[in-house]
Homo-oligomer: A and B are copies of this chain.
Amino acid sequence: MTEGHEGAVQSLIDELGRLPGVGPKGAQRIAFHVLAADPADVQRLASALVEVKERVRFCAVCGNVAEEDRCRVCRDPRRDTAVICVVEESKDVVAIERTREFRGTYHVLGGAISPIDGVGPDDLRVKELMSRLADGSVTELILATDPNLEGEATATYLARLVRPMGLKVTRLASGLPVGGDLEYADEVTLGRAFEGRRSLE
């Protein structure tokens, strides 16, 4: 067999090809980039991969990624623990933090309810959320799951579940993206934008 690459190169291409969003051509391109790269750079990437597995765990309170027992948000004494923003994934936390608009805390579900993928409430961190709400210190629950089918279903499920607790439950506004073009908005988004229209004073 003289086809394909030499052993070590082919192994690397195979491993890279398993990553999300990296196709066979992309994997080959990265492998040759690695071959030509400074050994120290490659070592740094390899160490970063191993370290992330060794050092990163999940926050005992909110389920966000953390390098200590609790994540950066939960460790911050200035954050308002009376407001919990429920998101699907840790990357949603990063996206919301970037807005600098939110000073409460988070709860990371670890996904959304999706019967087609076999994901039910028991597969998400719903029980953990309920125990955070148990002592009555939380006043508002913001349901910031994705504005798609699964995210909406999850938000509806959670809203019903916490209704008896009598706390304020909100959902992020749907509407036109800022900087977007009205004519390119899909009809559902445009419909929501009409529904949620604000009066200008």
Chain B contacts of A39 at CB under 8 A? 53
Interface residues on A, range: 35 or more
- CB-based nearest B residue for A23: B21
The reply to whether B94 and A35 form a contact with Cβ atoms under 8 Å apart is: no
CB A33 to nearest CB in B, in angstroms, measures: 5
Query: Within 8 Å of chain B (Cβ to Cβ): is A16?
Result: yes
The reply to whether A8 and B42 form a contact with Cβ atoms under 8 Å apart is: no
Interface centre among A3, A45, A51, A52 (most CB of B within 10 A): A52
The reply to whether B33 and A20 form a contact with Cβ atoms under 8 Å apart is: yes
Find A19's partner among B7, B30, B49, B91 (CB 8 Å cutoff): B30
CB A6 to nearest CB in B, in angstroms, measures: 5
A164 to B90, CA, bound (A): 66
A94 to B9, CA, bound (A): 11
A141 to B56, CA, bound (A): 55
- Looking at the complex, which of A66-74, A113-121, A165-173, A181-189 is the stretch in contact with chain B? A66-74
Knowing A12-B52, A21-B29, A22-B30 touch, does A5 contact B67 (C-beta < 8 A)?
Answer: no
Chain B contacts of A6 at CB under 8 A? 56, 65-67, 71-72
